[in-house]
Each structure stands twice: as C-alpha cells, then as structure tokens.
A and B are shown apart, each in its own frame.
Chain A
Amino acid sequence: MSALLSVQGLRVEIARRGRAMTAIDDVSFEIAAGEILGVVGESGAGKSVTGTAVLGLLERPARQAGGRILFDGRRIDTLDEDAMRALRGKEIAAVFQDPLTSLDPLMTIGDQLTETIRTHLDLNPAEAVERAARLLAEVGIPAPRERLASYPHEMSGGMRQRVVLALAFSCEPRLIIADEPTTALDVSIQAQILDLLRAMCRERGTAVMLVTHDMGVIAEVADRVAVMYAGRLVEVGPTASLLAAAAHPYTRGLMASIPDLHRRDVELAQIPGSMPRPDAPVPGCAFHPRCPRALVRCASERPPTFTVGASEVACWLADPVARSAA
C-alpha cells in the first residue's frame, strides 16, 4: 500500500543569532489514505512545526534543512509557491487551534467560504454559495443559509470551529492537518468537534494528521499514534497496541501521567525534569537524562529505529541484539 503522505528524514532548522538550531531532527512517518494519525508530545516537541512543514508554510527563521515530503507519490517540499498554494486548501487543508482567531473578523463566513471554494474550484458565484450553505449544514450549523451572512464575532467558539471545519472540507481535501483543533474549546464542545471531524473524515475517506498534546483525544479518534520528543520521533504504532503496551520509556511516562478518574487515591505520575531546548541539544538519545531505564550507550549513541510488534521504536532497549543478549 502506498502512503498518501510520506515524510522522509525531515529536518527543520531555526536560525537564531546566526546559529542554526535543529527543531525537527530526522523525522519519518507515513499516513495512508483515510487514516487518522495522532501526533503527540509536549509543547515544543516539534508537532506543529512538522504540520507546518507539510503544509509548506514554514516561515523565516524556520526552514526545511533536509528530508523529503511526498504527497500521493509526488514530492511537494520542492514545489514552487504557486504550485504549493494550489495544493493547499484543495488537497491538503488545515484546522488550527484557536477558532476565535482563525477567521477574518471583518468578513462574513459566507464570503470566506465562497472565497476559498472559488479559489480552488471552477464554480460560479451562485454555485459557490450553494456549496457553502451545504457545507455549513454538514458541520451542523442550524439555518445555514442565514448564517452565511454572519460575521465570526456573532458565533460561539464551538460554532466558529465548525465553520473552520467547513472551510477545511470545502474543496474535499484528501489530507487535513489538524493542529490542536479542540484545545481552545470547552471540554463539552471538544467531544462534539472531535466526533464531527472523525465522522466527516470517515465518510469521505479523508486522512488526518491530528496534532495534539492530549492523549485522551488520541485514544478517541486516532488509528495510529506518533510520539514526538525534542524534535524526534520516538515511537510510532497502532493506537490500541501503543496504549496497551508502549515500548518507549517516554511513551510509558506519558501514559502514566494521564489522570485516572477511578483511581483518585493514586498520586499522578510525572516524568522528572524537562525536555531539552533546541538550543541545548543532548547527545545520544534526547530522552536519556530523564529516562528511568537509561543504558550507558544512551548518553552517547543516538538509537536507530527498531521494529517491536506493530510499532517502530527509537530506543536502545528495543534493540533485538541487546534483548537476545539479555
């Protein structure tokens, strides 16, 4: 099966005071058509930067310093701006974190929808309005035709994120980069938006790269999970097996730090220390200073990716040679 999106050895550098810091370091993953890949990690792990790189929206001082990004078998990271722009919104759409600031406050949502639609599809104004109204109905906005004339400030946060979803789906993209799509919303609204996103994707076979720091969101909707730490991918695997038996010590730490409503007596586990900053990189495995099971070689040798069951793990503990020796 060939992947819809294939990121190979992606490397992103951020220039600061004449020095290049590595924000994304040799990250590779794939997303199949219709698949929902959750990308998790703490703030600053490089999740959003990865999504931005796929969209081709990296801006100075960040730049792609290495690797390849393939969409539908075609290399897109070397496309010129016009060709990439034609792809954005049409084939690869985006949903950003804050619905309150994602929409232009001075333009009606109808105009923002038709503007997007007519940029990518060859429709006349009346057809575009028709399509916009249908999209609003699909994302569950009542009286969609009247709502086209509304301005963003006249809607609640949840409604605005529905509009953002309508914009993302407006040209039937094959991939959506959803960057923390529910983080800014009330918990009760979060579930609605998440359900809506999943339902629309399943219906259309749209693939999603779902960036979040919320393991609950991942467990809810993702088919597979990619765990990022300090700009690197530490573990990728099917959601069920990763939740049940994570191989990487960092992933286990993440799982242990999810609060459990049924066990209020147990103190919440934490991972001691904090993630290394890009301006102070750690030799070897980036996680080793905080790792409870670090080996001697972890401090000097960067672990390659090993296959454990259905998962890919970048950890020396997963080295079959070491395991057979033990």
Chain B
Amino acid sequence: MSFVLGRLGQTVLVLLVAAFVSFALFRYVGDPVNNMVGQSASLADREAMRAALGLDDAFILQFARFVGNALTGDFGMSYRFGQPVATLIAERFPATLELALISMLIATGLGVPLGVWTALHRDHWAAQALMAASLIGVALPTFLIGIALILFFSVWLGWLPSFGRGQVVAIGGWSTGLLTTSGLRALVLPAVTLGVFQLALILRLARAEMLEVMRADFIRFARARGLKPRAIQYRHALRNTLVPVVTMIGLQFGNVFAFSIIVETVFQWPGLGLLVIQAIQFADVPLLAAYLVLIALCFAVINLAVDLAYVAIDPRVRSGAGVRRTA
C-alpha cells in the first residue's frame, strides 16, 4: 500500500514537471496574439489583447495560474477555436484513447503469444516466416501501412470504411465507438495500422527474452528435475519473460500516442492528433499545454500500472530488492 502511495506522489511530481516544461516551451513557439488579431490591428489593440489573456504577467505567475486552473479542470480558452480547451479535449480524447488501447491490445494479444511460439519452435518454417514479417513490420512507415490497408480493404475489397469513426454512442461524457457495428468496423483499419509496428516489436522482444530465459540455469535445472515441457515453458519460462516485456509495452504506449497523430491524419480519425496538428500550426498554447499535460498523465497512469504489474509478477519487487529493468 505504501508502495502505491509513494508511486502516486511521484506521479504528481512528474505531472507538475511536465506541465512546467510544456508551459515554458510554448512561450517560444510564437506570439499567439499575432495570429488572433488581424493585420490591421493597432499596437494598442495588441496590448489590450495581451493584457486580457494575462500574457504580460510574470512567467511564474502565469504558470501558477495555469496549474491552479488546471486543478479545477479549466485549461483556458483555445486561441484558435474560442472554446474551452477542456471541452475540446473531452470531445476528442475518447477517440484517441480507444484507438490507442485497441491497437495495443491487438499488438500485445498477438505479439506475446507469437513471440513465445517462435522462440519455442525456432526451426519451424512458420516461425521463420513470422520473424521475417516482423522485420518488415518494424521497418515499414506507419502512414504507408495505413494507405496500403485502405487501398486493399476499402478501395479494392470494399470491406471496411477508410475514414472517420462511424457511429458513436455517448455514455456519460464519453463517446465510444466500441458499441456499434459501424464504430467497430471503422476502428479496424486505424487500430491495425497503429498496432503493426508495436506488434512486430513486442513479438521480437518476447521471442528474444524467451530464448534467453530458456537458456537460464533454472530452466536447465527444471529440466533436470524432470518437469514436463509445458510446465517448464509456461510456468517457469514465460513468467520470467514477462517482466521486461511488460516494461516495454508500457514504454511503447507513449509511442502509440505519438504515432496516432499520423494514423489519425491518414484515416481522418476525429481524435486528439488532428486537433494537435491544427493547434501547432496556430501556436494555440493553452490547447498544446493541456494536450502535453494529458499525455504526461497517460504516461504516468500507464507507468503506475506497469509498476503494479511488476508487483504481481515479481516477488523481488515486493520485498524491495533490486530488479533488473530493461528501459
């Protein structure tokens, strides 16, 4: 329990630092006032706008105000859209999170079993084909995979929609596409596109770790104890393989959010990625700062989940002893 509390404290600290960095960073991306006022605005108009936005206060004061407001869920108004940032993000976030989660689910659900299988059947032709395919999966750019999938499944076969999110259902403030057929159909191509790279990476790591564990002394000793191959492979080898694999899956979540910007552009997916691209072009500081804080929050939550997974998997973490972390 104290472990969880300690981690939560760290999480808060990480969020503060992320907020500070993103806030500081965006002071240098351009003057938002320039974008908001017209060409003909006078200098006095500009100053008035600046004062109204609080942009001429001391930096630290601006930051304190930002954090204070953020705690109440208020991230200010978007310069570009003239709407509260919180509303904009709340509209878009479910689409991105569902996309990221489903693609990671596909990548993990297939990557770990396939990686383990290829490690155990190294000489099988299918294992070698999978390894070759995974190399392609790691090497192909995400947008290319997306375009190829659209061409094949949408244009040629006409099986799946090539853009949008399909029908969504609102549950509380959350709009989900997971409950309608059209929503699920729309999710397939983007989620696969986003997941291919992760799948290939997880497969390769799971295979490498499994091979290494299978060479470990305790596996040799387990064989000398006469245990059945199934028990050795799954009860002993697989569990020891999971620790580094879980770490990497956690780390890769960040990349999934980053790559989702590309996938959302290719599939016109109405998520945060599209919003952020527009915000960057406009130097929409409140929106960008809120986005970064949100991403940091996602990271922190995922890392917390990874740490809790360690506790479940590895007794050495529970007792506070050091554990090898591949990071």
Contacts and interface: CB of A to CB of B under 8 A. Distances in A.
Q: Are A and B physically bound partners?
A: yes
Interface string A64-103: 0000000000000000000001111110011010100111
B221 A102 contact: yes
A105 interface: yes
Contacts of A98: 217
By secondary structure, the B interface counts as helix
B229 to A, nearest CB: 8
B240 interface: yes
Interface residues of B, number: 24
A101 B216 contact: yes
B221 A94 contact: yes
A119 B231 contact: yes
Interface string B136-165: 000000000000000000000000000000
Contact of A89 (B224, B235, B316): B224
Contact of B316 (A85, A88, A102, A153): A153
Contacts, number: 81
Q: How large is the interface on A (under 10, 10 to 19, 20 to 34, 35 or more residues)?
A: 20 to 34
A116 B225 contact: yes
Contact of A115 (B223, B224, B231): B231
Given A98-B217, A106-B314, A153-B319, A120 B226 contact: yes
A5 interface: no
A164 interface: yes
Contacts of B235: 107, 115
A49 interface: no
A107 B224 CA distance: 17
Contacts of B220: 57, 96
Contacts of B240: 104-106
B246 to A, nearest CB: 13
A105 B316 contact: yes
B41 interface: no
A167 interface: yes
State the 9 A-B residue pairs at the shortest beta-carbon distance, nearest first. Answer: A89-B226, A94-B224, A88-B226, A101-B217, A89-B225, A151-B315, A102-B221, A116-B225, A104-B218
Interface of A: 55, 57, 85-90, 93-94, 96, 98, 101-108, 115-116, 119-120, 151, 153-154, 164, 167, 177
Interface of B: 216-218, 220-229, 231, 235-236, 239-240, 313-316, 319, 321
